[in-house]
Amino acid sequence: MRLCDEELKNARKRLLQMHFESGVGHIGGNLSALDAMMLLHHEYLHTDKEPFILSKGHAAGALYVSLWSKGLLSDEDLKQFHREETRLPAHPPAFGVPGVLFATGSLGHGLSLAAGTALAKRLNADGGHVYCMTSDGEWQEGSTWEALIFLCHQQLTNLTILVDHNRLQGFGSTDAVASMNPLADKLRGFAIAIHSVDGHDPAAIRAALDAPATQPKLVILHTVKGHGVSFMENQMAWHYLPLNEAQYKQALNEVEAAGS
């Protein structure tokens, strides 16, 4: 069943509530990644044969809310986000969360894990497809490029990489810190099918994911950090800041007024 606008809106509101109640940040990068993660979980990750690896581990909130929207986590689970002895820590844990195969968030490692998983599935003649979401900042790291070399050499056509390209990272813009832009141009020498789409347009993301490919696929999601909340959008501070009560109420009102 296709993801609907109301489900996306409810997910944004629930993400804001979870972060507000827990008093933690990383909200901006969660909002940039949420649309694609929701689409994957509602339309593409139907069985254990379609694993999802969140290399961008600081977007764990978006992952947990996506799982909640599918009924795989409860409201009570989300209330324990980032708290003592929780099974929903700041980054995805190694065990205890349905569908999470690896502890991730030490950036630059997730794509290697995804490539190894895809190769194992091929060697074991196990069907299905592997999906991995990276941040754009991770493409400044050598380990990500080593994984790319490996997966292209092995021609892992059962692997799709998504890049949350919101152009902001912990210490500034990706252009200012260590520019890899335009990223698509840097990737074109590899044996990989590249798509660049609006990362907040479900139809565009879906079209890229469904496009036939004889090579591993990489989808660059052009996104906005803090998407849907005016005072967060394209603001590096919301890589870190938590919400106060007035900001939380304003953010909820904006999401509700905007619809999807």
Query: Which structure tokens are listed for 18?
Result: 């979870």
- Count of domains for the chain: 1
> At 148, which CATH number?
3.40.50.970
Give residue-wise pLDDT tens across range 132-167: 999 999 999 999 999 999 999 999 999 999 999 999
**Model pLDDT, residue 260:** 53
Mean per-residue pLDDT pooled into runs of 10, the chain (260 residues): 94 98 96 98 93 97 98 97 95 94 93 98 96 96 97 98 94 85 94 98 98 97 98 95 98 88
For the entire predicted model, the pTM comes to 0.96
Interior angle at CA 242, CA 58 and CA 180, nearest 5 = 40
Residue 11's nearest CA partner among 41, 32, 34 is: 34
**Model pLDDT, residue 98:** 94
Range of the domain at 91: 5-258
Give residue-wise pLDDT tens across range 216-250: 999 999 999 999 999 999 999 999 999 999 999 99
Query: Which structure tokens are listed for 173?
Result: 């813009």
Burial grade of 87 (CB within 10 A; 0-12, 13-18, 19 or more) = middle
The distance of Cα 84 from the centroid of its chain, to the nearest Å, equals 25
